A and B are shown apart, each in its own frame.
Chain A
Amino acid sequence: MEYETIIGLEVHAQLLTKSKMFCGCSADYASAPPNTHVCPICLGMPGVLPTINKKAIEYAVMTALALNCTIPEHTRFDRKNYPYPDLMKGYQISQYNNPLSRNGWLTIEVNGKSRRIGITRVHQEEDVAKLFHRTDPSGESYSLVDVNRSGVPLMEIVSEPDMRSPEEAREYLMKLHSILQYLGVCTGNMEEGSFRCDANVSIRPAGSTEFMPKVEVKNMNSFKAVYRALAYEVERQRKVAEEGGKLVQETRGWVEEKGATVSQRSKEYAHDYRYFPEPDLPPLELSRKFVDEIRSRLPELPDARRDRFISQYSLSRYDANLLTVSRAMADYFETCLKPLPQGAEAEKRAKTVANWLLGEFSRLLNATNIEIKDAKITPQHLVEMLELIDNGTLSTTMAKTVFEEMFRGGKSASQVVKEKGLAQISTANELESVLGQVIAANSQAVADFKQGKEQALKFLVGQVMKATRGQANPQMVNELLRRRLAHSQ
């Protein structure tokens, strides 16, 4: 039987605010020693009260607008009650019936086809403390609590169950990630947990409208893990169904080492969260003025930027897509094109810059695991290098060496060329003696050429290049050889 896959994603993104959601503690806890970014409020001590971080609300509204959501005039917080030692108050301040936004969408592209994925809601809540489970030498297990993360602003973005394949889910997640980066509201670091994703997955016979039990998949810490976990889970469910087994509603965790999802707990024992309106925080008014002001500050988003790159720089859709996934890359690209040469040159320069960024630059970033913002090579370095190629100082082959050198050391192109003696030999005088040697040592090829074999000239040029370790300008070598061989006739 053919099955249809149904996937919905729930993303939790930590907001890049200076302070926490409901107290004045710093939210930048990533490298802080345990329990140093804490106060009576985020520790949940008796008698303390929360106050709303306006910046967090601004960021969440900004995100909701970027995702085409509707923002109501009022929103309010609710208490989500459940006992767990990572939850300082015994409840999490979240949003239930009156979230900050609803009914949005974003567009993904899979196999050249565009699809709209619905966003159910974007709401604001707070993160919880971090638990570390340990075992002492005697085998006794214990847990440590680091409260630094408690109260860090967290935005929950819930999608509709609109995705029909793990590929689509991955695209959705990458697009969402990209949008948050463009907005500058989240670091998007999946490994550190500032961008987390849970999935609801189910299958049903193709064409059917019935609902089969859905499985919540957790613990996916990278885009790759999301893709693999969902592919695994879809296949697992299909097998169970085909073998006549019974699918159950449950939570399953992705175990990277096993490459499998493993059952965690069945939904029958799920918590009853006993949501009710947070009495410590009055309803929050989201005035149209406030919302419009945020809307007016929205930056150009990935899709729009991609379309502009195509029309402004005549880039291919493929290249434009790749360049605009990350705001840092797109910014880098555009900085390289300032000032932009005129006319036909502009298009050529854009294409060349795109090639360098998507080729060598991306390769080196991946290989060294460096982020664009930390890269030592600046757009100015790249532009200077391209000018050296244009004026014949560098060959494209040598430019790769120069580029890598600039990437690693952060020196300018001319500096690298000078230090490494990499300048192209472009004067006839410098080449004369090498040419003489090559002609003398390859009499057969010389003879062949004279008999009209063009191939032989290519061989001779190659020999000159080899002798000069690539520093000769091949075009010039070609011309000089022709001239000399013609003369010697």
Chain B
Amino acid sequence: MASEYDLTVHEAHDLLKSRKLSSLELTKAVLERIHRVEDKVHSFVTVTEDMALTQARQADENIKAGNLSPLTGIPALIKDVMCTKGVKTTCSSKMLSNFIPPYDATVVERLKAAGMVMMGKGNMDEFAMGSSTENSAFFVTHNPWDLDRVPGGSSGGSAASVAAGEAIYALGSDTGGSIRQPAGFCSVAGLKPTYGRVSRYGLVAFASSLDQIGPLTKDVTDCALVMNVIAGYDVCDSTSVDRQVPDYTKSLVPNLKGLRIGVPKEYFVQGMESGVEQVVRRAIGKLEELGAEVEWDVSLPHTRYALACYYIIAPSEAMANLARYDGVKYGFSAKEAENMWDAMEKTRQYGFGPEVKRRIMLGTYALSAGYYEAYYLKAQKVRTLISREFAETFTRYDALVTPTSPTVPFRIGEKADKPLQMYLSDVCTLPANIAGIPGISVPAGFTDGLPVGMQILGKPFSEETLFRVAYAYEQAAGWQKRRPNL
């Protein structure tokens, strides 16, 4: 048997169910793995060892009593942007470095009810703003496939922990690619669900109309299993959609017969690394072999405006979402201020990192009197056009397939002071957030030993189609079986 920490959710579940393995044994194996590799990877802001052991023992009790759900007793990491009752939730920011929420995010509540063993909280770019996890106020997370490289971001801790065996599965959040891009960089599966499919209650907001929580897992089956638990309407989130949640595992069938797949040329952008392009085109060829009808030359011309549109809307919403951090109620509070205003200003000056400040300023500018029409309003119109273009395209195709990112994982520090280059890292992923459609990244292979992800996009609430394509490909290609050497 492989090491327990290398198990997938469904493999672990089978062992737990047949009582060949206990949750405590599994949890201890993962903890041991964390102790051994965390020095190199730095996935965790907080390791909740005691809590994990308690939950594992509880899970074993439940299993003994016959109460076993597909996630019972299985170790997970939660990105540190989701509130966890009694456990520090920092958003990898100095601003919230001491913040302990008195409530669980809805997804955390649902996972706990399903028997999750929480290993800890995952490192990320501060307030989910970034594509490399270098913007964490605490430390950089390293890519388990090459420790000199970034794991992607902002859910870098989530992706790295799953790839490194520090968690069996993880939750991330995706505002412009923050689940899919690190999933691609770390060779794991990562789904950004349809906007409204998963409750955002308790997810510390970055850009409310774009944010969505989703799973990062070792394979597509696990992704479906986690979605079965976290998806669904939540009265606490008015933007969540009251719509039946299917059993996503039902769509895991190994053929693509009759499926129409489009390949939009705009996603093979200028400056895309040729190794990445080759890997992705080869993967798409595999889809054809599996029975899909592939149209290689689809065009979505508005795609080129997505990046600009995104960098108006996301910072505008972020500007407001981050206004509450003033040092008065919770979190970091600057000392030695002259007066109330000075205290608020100093708190924000020392509490936020440079990327967060940059986006607050961008958003403030875009919404200012006299600029609103030219920026925010225009961006909203572009957003409508992009959504329509997708809707129209999905009348002809069941799914679109693209690279997840134009590059392989880049070196730590390589783009740290080049924000525009960094923003380009999300060019293939952020259109899905703008249109609110679902997207999944699956491992598509390697170039020069570095992971490449393939992204599959579908119309709203077509997660089943995405799972079907991703699963069929994964079963045929087998990349999910590879593990990094650490």
Query: Which residues of A are at the interface with B, using a C-beta cutoff of 8 A?
Result: 40, 43-52, 79, 81, 83, 85, 88-91, 143, 145, 272, 274-276, 279-282
Contact = CB atoms under 8 A, between A and B. Distances in A.
12 contacts: A45-B324, A45-B329, A46-B99, A47-B105, A49-B237, A49-B238, A90-B320, A90-B322, A274-B368, A280-B208, A280-B239, A281-B239
Contacts of A88: 324, 329
Contacts of A282: 238-239
A281 B101 contact: no
Given A81-B320, A83-B323, A85-B340, A46 B101 contact: yes
Contact of A47 (B205, B209, B239, B328): B205
Contacts of A274: 319-320, 364, 367-369, 372
A374 B358 CA distance: 59
Contact of B204 (A46, A51, A85): A46
Interface residues of B, number: 44
A259 B317 CA distance: 44
**Which of B83, B323, B367, B376 has the most chain A CB atoms inside 10 A of its CB?**
B323
Given A46-B83, A49-B238, A51-B238, A89 B101 contact: no
Contacts of B329: 43-45, 88
Contacts of A85: 326, 328, 340, 344
A275 B317 CA distance: 11
Contacts of A50: 238
A46 B91 contact: yes
Contacts of A46: 83, 89, 91, 96, 99, 101, 204-205, 324
Nearest to A41: B236
B235 interface: yes
Given A81-B320, A145-B328, A276 B201 contact: no
B369 A272 contact: yes
Given A47-B105, A49-B236, A274-B367, A90 B323 contact: yes
B350 interface: no
Interface in B359-389: 364, 367-369, 372, 376
A272 B364 CA distance: 10
A89 B204 CA distance: 13
A267 to B, nearest CB: 13
B82 interface: yes
**Which of B201, B238, B368 has the most chain A CB atoms inside 10 A of its CB?**
B238
B112 to A, nearest CB: 16
Nearest to B369: A272
Contact of B201 (A47, A52, A83, A90): A47
B319 A45 contact: no
Contacts, number: 101
Given A40-B102, A52-B238, A143-B340, A89 B319 contact: no
Nearest to B240: A49
Contacts of B438: none
Interface of B: 82-83, 89, 91, 96, 99, 101-103, 105, 200-205, 207-209, 235-239, 316-317, 319-320, 322-326, 328-330, 340, 344, 364, 367-369, 372, 376
B341 to A, nearest CB: 8
Contacts of B203: 47
Given A83-B326, A90-B323, A276-B376, A51 B316 contact: no
A91 B316 CA distance: 13
B200 to A, nearest CB: 7
A281 B196 CA distance: 12
A79 to B, nearest CB: 5
Given A44-B329, A49-B200, A79 B320 contact: yes
Given A45-B330, A46-B99, A276 B238 contact: no
A258 to B, nearest CB: 27
Nearest to A43: B329
A49 B201 contact: yes
A90 B326 contact: yes
A137 B448 CA distance: 72
Contacts of B344: 83, 85
Contacts of B202: 47-48
Contacts of A79: 320
A143 B343 CA distance: 13
**Which of B102, B322, B367 has the most chain A CB atoms inside 10 A of its CB?**
B367
Nearest to B103: A40
A282 B238 CA distance: 7
A274 B329 CA distance: 24
Given A45-B101, A48-B201, A49-B200, A279 B324 contact: no
Given A81-B319, A274-B319, A44 B324 contact: yes
Nearest to A280: B208
Contact of B209 (A40, A48, A83, A279): A279
A468 to B, nearest CB: 73
B330 A51 contact: no
Contacts of A272: 368-369
A441 B148 CA distance: 125
Contacts of B316: 276
A85 B340 CA distance: 9
